Amino acid sequence: MPHPDVLISEVGPRDGLQSVQATMPTADKLRWIDALHVAGVREIEVASFVPARLLPQMADAAEVVRHAVLLPGLTVMALVPNRKGAEAALAAGVHKLTMPVSASVAHSLANVRKTREEMVQEVRAIAALRRDIAPHVKLEAGISTAFGCTLQGEVPEDEVIRLAVQCVEAGADESGLSDTVGYANPAQVRRLFRRLRAELGDKAGAAHMHNTRGLGLANCLAAYEEGVRTFDASLGGLGGCPYAPGASGNVVTEDLVFMFEAMGVHTGIDIGRLIAARAPLMAGLPGEPVYGMTPEAGLPKGFIQGKAHA
């Protein structure tokens, strides 16, 4: 397969699983992660290091990391909200830490019970910890509610960009933008990523888009056209938003890979094998709805992956 043009970062085992009620058994998680790796996925956010009493779905985070790091060529990422979580994630052997930093004042307090300024301090503390004990590990700040917030409504764009810059100044290797609640539109995505890239250059990070209002793919394409090359997505769109019944949460990995491959933009991911990776996901979460137009409709007649690029 040709060298990938974009990196599809699978977030289902973290973002997806922590949004559903049921807890997937560890053995199913490992089978699912293996199947994603077999399909060619090369970055997976496998877990969140938070207290098990808050998120029982993530109680096996260390075990999942210790398995995932055995898969060749895979970047194993974990979400850490604080220094304690970062210590546990580093001890388990992750390759990359991602921190959720809310641009919305209200969401930050509700989600991590810290102000935005306190979260920047947290980034600084974790960057120092990383430098001291695991300098090879990457640190990413994901600016959540960057396109709007269910609690606060509008989030001023200047504040989003300023926070992303502050996170990099505090020691993060990159800051990406997340549409946590599915409010973004393509014009806004273009504007914000253009500003982010102008401020941060190659330290501008991933686009994390949700499909709550059906604009997930359009928003990813807008980000791509602004030069973004890393995209978060979730297999089967796992993580449906509880406030929008019937709508998937994260952008569906299968549909995103199909869009790029049909355009001749190489993802390094085999769509057939990617769709096959839905089986262990569904086996581990019986009854949980999974989404995706491409898996339902099938590939177009005569479709050859990546052909348009040739």
In the complex, minimum distance from the CB of residue 138 to Zn ion, in angstroms, rounded to a whole number: 19
- For Zn ion, the closer of residues 7 and 276 by Cβ is 7
- For Zn ion, the closer of residues 81 and 171 by Cβ is 81
- For Zn ion, the closer of residues 77 and 127 by Cβ is 77
In the complex, minimum distance from the CB of residue 184 to Zn ion, in angstroms, rounded to a whole number: 12
Residue nearest to Zn ion (CB): 15
Binder among 250, 267, 294, 305 for Zn ion (CB under 5 A): 250
Q: Choose the catalytic residue: 149, 167, 220, 241.
A: 241
Q: Which stretch binds Zn ion (CB under 5 A): 15-23, 127-135, 167-175, 187-195?
A: 15-23
Q: Which stretch binds Zn ion (CB under 5 A): 68-76, 104-112, 247-255, 301-309?
A: 247-255
- For Zn ion, the closer of residues 15 and 43 by Cβ is 15
Q: How many residues bind Zn ion (CB under 5 A)?
A: 2
Is there binding between residue 15 and Zn ion (CB under 5 A)? Answer: yes
Give the residue carrying structure tokens 């089986």.
279
- For Zn ion, the closer of residues 98 and 267 by Cβ is 98
241 carries an active-site annotation: yes
In the complex, minimum distance from the CB of residue 210 to Zn ion, in angstroms, rounded to a whole number: 6
Is there binding between residue 140 and Zn ion (CB under 5 A)? Answer: no
In the complex, minimum distance from the CB of residue 140 to Zn ion, in angstroms, rounded to a whole number: 14
**DSSP-assigned beta bridge partners for residue 76:** 44
Q: Per-residue DSSP letters for the chain? A: -PPPSSEEEE-IIIIIGGGSSS---HHHHHHHHHHHHHTT--EEEEEE-S-TTT-GGGTTHHHHHHHHTTSTTPEEEEE-SSHHHHHHHHHHT-SEEEEEEESSHHHHHHHHSS-HHHHHHHHHHHHHHHHHH-TTSEEEEEEETTT-BTTTB---HHHHHHHHHHHHHTT-SEEEEE-TTS---HHHHHHHHHHHHHHHGGGEEEEE-B-TTS-HHHHHHHHHHTT--EEEEBGGG-S--TTSTT--SBPBHHHHHHHHHHHT---S--HHHHHHTHHHHHHHSTT-----HHHHH-PPTT--TTGGG-
Q: Which stretch binds Zn ion (CB under 5 A): 102-110, 118-126, 160-168, 242-250?
A: 242-250
In the complex, minimum distance from the CB of residue 250 to Zn ion, in angstroms, rounded to a whole number: 5
Asked whether the CA dihedral 114, 120, 124, 129 is positive or negative, the reply is: positive
In the complex, minimum distance from the CB of residue 231 to Zn ion, in angstroms, rounded to a whole number: 12
- For Zn ion, the closer of residues 49 and 147 by Cβ is 147
Q: Given the rule CB under 5 A, which residues bind Zn ion?
A: 15, 250
Catalogue the active-site residues. Answer: 241
